[in-house]
């Protein structure tokens, strides 16, 4: 069950190319909300494609369910009523309402993260200004380009810890306990 | 120069952030605390609405587009699994749940025992499939059917990594983030002080006056991480309460691990790697564990019930 080499991650990435038509692009759906006004052209295209796919898929589901619910004697109006009363589902078994709620949640979380980053940028600017007025230099690489999506690869470089005596006053101190 | 320390509960544990800056360290520390909350919201397996829980729910249903934070978590899970040859296995979710750790730990303790489905006195053996079948492609993640991810402590390690990086990128001169004992720091604290980390001996009762087994200091400007994994914490009674379980799962059996070491503390460049390596060392035991850590070039303090095992810190791997 163990991987035999360190390149299996790369293999996974290469071999795992999904069929783009199957991607459950909830985030893309969330960013196409017109009220937000943050949609790029590419996003619009992707959203439009997904919307089309969703409509087609939904129509298929509704058609099947409507057909199941209808008898031969039912009129077209009756079939339509049956379709309306059927809760639409996606390929994952989630209802459209659930997907919408999830999309909204992701949208909210993305907004909170954007707010956080915006505040971080503001603080960085203030620190630069404060340092400038004090004749100091602040190393700021810009929090907008945070490492959030680029976790570093561990190196074998060691961090040179030293055994230490119990400090009498150690203001920058951490306690590592079990987790 | 200003310093702010914020302590707060999050991620089911005690958290502390320390930020040094020429000014505004209080604002940065508040933002760091806020970021812990955002990451918990995204990664928690105990929140059914978290993005991770949603991803786990969709196992077997093809690729799911995920946020940058969740993608980062899955990527380091993959790396940790590979670098530990599968000993650190985040796909132990079903096994952890079956062992009784199926809710926030405070809730597990309050409940007083594991779920009734567990045979008394026996661990639940649930297959742990490993990360091999999990596909990451672009911004999407696909989980095979029946596979769930448990961020465990690697999430805390990575969270500490990300937050320290973000604080430093914003202009902090020094930052330390401690999430329940998973510590990451960078920069220089105060006026050229050293970073000092105390390693707690989990064998010593919590009400003892001094539980520190080692003090370790790091030069100013050092960026490093310290993480401790132990079988002596997050324990709960199971079944008829005569059995005590801990949260370390042996991925080769899917059972609660039967191991001789009780604690592993590892020092590494990054928090997620320190945590994964500590878990792997714990599972490898008192003979193979130190050899493996030596091979990785990592400093460590290991304990079994009766002794402390370590390379001379700062000598062997300096």
* Residues 101-130 (A) with a CB less than 8 A from some CB of B: 102, 105-106, 109-110, 112-113, 116, 119-121, 123-124, 126-128, 130
Nearest CA in chain B to A173: B196
Which residues of chain B neighbour A102 with C-beta distances below 8 Å? 54
A95 and chain B in contact, CB less than 8 A: no
Partner A contacted by B168 (CB < 8 A): yes
- Separate counts of helices (H) and strands (E) for chain A: 5, 2
What pLDDT score does A39 carry? 42
What was the pLDDT predicted at B293?
95
Query: Is B264 a residue whose pLDDT tops 80?
Result: yes
pLDDT at B177 over 70: yes
Taking alpha carbons only, the member of A141, A125, A144 closest to residue B22 is A125
Calculate mean pLDDT across residues B13-35.
95
Q: Are B38 and A27 in contact (CB < 8 Å)?
A: no
Alpha carbon distance B65, A117 (integer Å): 21
* Set of chain B residues whose Cβ sits within 8 Å of the Cβ of A91: 61-62
The Cα B141–Cα A23 span in angstroms is 10
CB contact set of B78 (below 8 Å; sequence gap of 6+) = A9, A12, B131, B134, B136
Residue A176 CA to residue A156 CA, distance in Å, equals: 22
179 residues of chain A, pLDDT tens digit each: 444 444 344 333 333 333 333 444 434 333 333 333 344 443 443 444 444 344 434 343 333 343 343 333 344 443 334 434 445 556 666 788 878 888 888 888 999 999 999 999 999 999 888 877 766 555 554 443 333 333 344 444 445 677 666 655 544 667 776 66
Best of B13, B55, B59, B196 to substitute, by most chain A Cβ atoms within 10 angstroms, is B196
pLDDT at B182: 93
Cα torsion A97, B36, B80, B249 to 10°: value is: -80
B166 near A CB under 8 A: yes
Any residues with CB less than 8 A from the CB of B250 and at least 6 apart, and which? B256, B257, B258, B259, B283
Question: DSSP assignment of B48-113, as one string?
Answer: TTSHHHHHHHTTTS--EE--HHHHHHHHHHHHHHHHTTTSS-GGGHHHHHHTT--S-HHHHHHH-S
B263-B264-B270-B276 Cα dihedral, nearest 10 degrees: -90
For residue A151, what is the nearest residue in chain B, using CA coordinates? B72
Q: What share of chain B is helix, strand, coil (3-state, %, to 5)?
A: 30, 25, 45
Is B217's CB within 8 Å of A164's CB? yes
Question: What are chain B's domains?
Answer: 2-309 (3.10.520.10)
Q: Measured between alpha carbons, how far is B144 from A109 in angstroms, rounded to an integer?
A: 26
Cross-chain Cβ contact A160/B227 below 8 Å: no
Tell me what pLDDT residue B250 has. Answer: 81
Domain residues of chain A, as ranges?
12-138
Average pLDDT for B34-55: 93
Residues A138 and B59: beta-carbon distance below 8 Å: no
Mean pLDDT, to the nearest integer, of B40-59? 91
Would you say the pTM of this structure is higher than 0.80?
no
| Minimal CA separation from A78 to chain B, in Å | 33
* Percent of chain B at pLDDT exceeding 90: 54
Q: What backbone phi and psi angles, to 5 degrees, belong to A68?
A: -65, -35
How far apart are the two ends of chain B, measured CA to CA in Å? 31
Identify the band that residue B113 occupies on the pLDDT scale cut at 50, 70 and 90.
Answer: low
> How many beta-carbon contacts under 8 Å exist across A and B?
313
Q: Which residues of A touch B270 (CB under 8 A)?
A: 151-152, 154
> Would the CB atoms of A124 and B170 count as touching at under 8 Å?
yes
What tokens were used for A146? 């945070």
Listed in order, strand segments (DSSP E) in chain A are: 162-164, 173-176
Nearest to B160 by CA among B179, B139, B146: B179
Paired tokens of A71: 């008898």
Question: What would the two tokens of residue B100 be?
Answer: 């009784």
Average pLDDT of span B292-303: 93
The predicted structure's pLDDT at residue A63 = 37
Q: Is the pLDDT reported for residue B92 higher than 90?
A: no
How many CA atoms within 13 Å lie on the side-chain side of B208? Answer: 11
- In angstroms, the separation between the Cα of residue B318 and the nearest Cα of chain A is 5
Count, residues in chain B: 318
pLDDT at B244 exceeding the cut of 90: no
Provide the pLDDT for residue A89. 57
Q: Given this model, what pLDDT does residue B12 score?
A: 86
Query: Average pLDDT over chain B, rounded to whole?
Result: 85
Whether chain A has a CB inside 8 Å of the CB on B196: the answer is yes
Could you list the beta-strand ranges (E) of chain B.
2-10, 13-21, 64-65, 135-137, 140-142, 174-179, 182-187, 195-200, 212-218, 224-230, 236-238, 243-245, 249-250, 255-256, 263-268, 299-303, 308-309
Q: Is the pLDDT of residue B310 over 60?
A: yes
Q: Do A176 and B62 touch (CB under 8 A)?
A: no
CA B40 to chain A, closest CA, distance in angstroms equals 11
Percent of chain A with pLDDT over 90: 9
pLDDT at residue B95 is higher than 50: yes
Average confidence (pLDDT) over B143-164: 93
Contact flag A167-B24 (C-beta cutoff 8 Å): no
Cα of A21 to nearest chain B Cα, Å: 10
CB count within 10 Å of CB B17 equals 26
Rg (CA), chain B: 19
Q: Is it the case that residue B121 has pLDDT exceeding 90? A: no
């Amino acid at each position: 069950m163990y991987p035999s080499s360190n390149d299996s991650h790369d293999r996974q990435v290469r071999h795992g190319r999904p069929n783009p038509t199957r991607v459950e692009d909830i985030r893309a759906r969330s960013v196409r909300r017109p009220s937000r006004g943050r949609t790029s052209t590419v996003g619009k295209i992707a959203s439009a494609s997904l919307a089309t796919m969703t409509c087609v898929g939904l129509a298929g589901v509704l058609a099947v369910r409507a057909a199941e619910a209808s008898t031969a004697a039912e009129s077209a109006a009756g079939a339509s009523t049956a379709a309306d009363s059927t809760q639409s589902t996606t390929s994952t078994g989630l209802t459209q309402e659930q997907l919408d709620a999830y999309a909204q949640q992701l949208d909210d979380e993305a907004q909170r993260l954007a707010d956080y980053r915006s505040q971080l940028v503001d603080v960085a600017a203030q620190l630069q200004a404060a340092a400038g007025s004090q004749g100091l230099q602040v190393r700021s690489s810009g929090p907008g380009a945070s490492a959030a999506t680029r976790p570093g690869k561990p190196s074998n470089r060691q961090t040179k810890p030293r055994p230490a005596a119990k400090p009498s006053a150690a203001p920058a101190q951490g306690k590592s306990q079990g987790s | 120069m200003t310093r702010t320390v914020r302590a707060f509960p999050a991620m089911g544990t005690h958290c502390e952030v320390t930020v040094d800056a020429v000014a505004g360290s209080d604002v940065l520390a508040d933002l760091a605390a806020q970021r812990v909350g955002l990451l918990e919201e995204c990664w928690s397996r105990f929140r059914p609405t978290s993005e991770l829980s949603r991803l786990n729910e969709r196992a077997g249903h093809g690729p799911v587009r995920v946020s940058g934070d969740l993608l980062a978590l899955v990527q380091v899970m993959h790396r940790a699994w590979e670098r530990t040859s599968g000993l650190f296995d985040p796909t132990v979710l079903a096994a952890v749940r079956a062992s009784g750790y199926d809710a926030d730990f405070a809730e597990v303790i309050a409940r007083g025992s594991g779920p009734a489905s567990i045979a008394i006195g026996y661990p639940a053996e649930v297959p742990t499939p490993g990360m091999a079948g999990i596909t990451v492609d672009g911004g999407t993640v696909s989980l095979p059917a029946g596979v769930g991810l448990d961020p465990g402590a690697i999430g805390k390690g990575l969270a500490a990594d990300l937050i320290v990086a973000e604080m430093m990128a914003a202009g902090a001169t020094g930052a330390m983030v401690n999430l329940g004992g998973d510590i990451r720091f960078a920069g220089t604290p105060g006026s050229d002080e050293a970073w000092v980390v105390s390693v707690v001996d989990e064998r010593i009762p919590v009400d003892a006056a001094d539980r520190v087994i080692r003090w370790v200091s790091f030069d100013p400007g050092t960026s490093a991480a310290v993480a401790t994994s132990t079988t002596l914490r997050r324990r709960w009674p199971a079944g008829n309460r005569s059995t005590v379980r801990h949260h370390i799962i042996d991925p080769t059996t899917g059972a609660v691990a039967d191991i001789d070491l009780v604690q592993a503390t590892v020092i590494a460049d990054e928090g997620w790697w320190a945590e994964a390596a500590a878990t792997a060392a714990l599972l490898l035991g008192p003979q193979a564990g130190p050899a493996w850590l030596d091979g990785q070039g990592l400093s460590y303090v290991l304990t079994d019930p009766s002794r402390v095992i370590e390379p001379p810190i700062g000598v062997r791997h300096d």
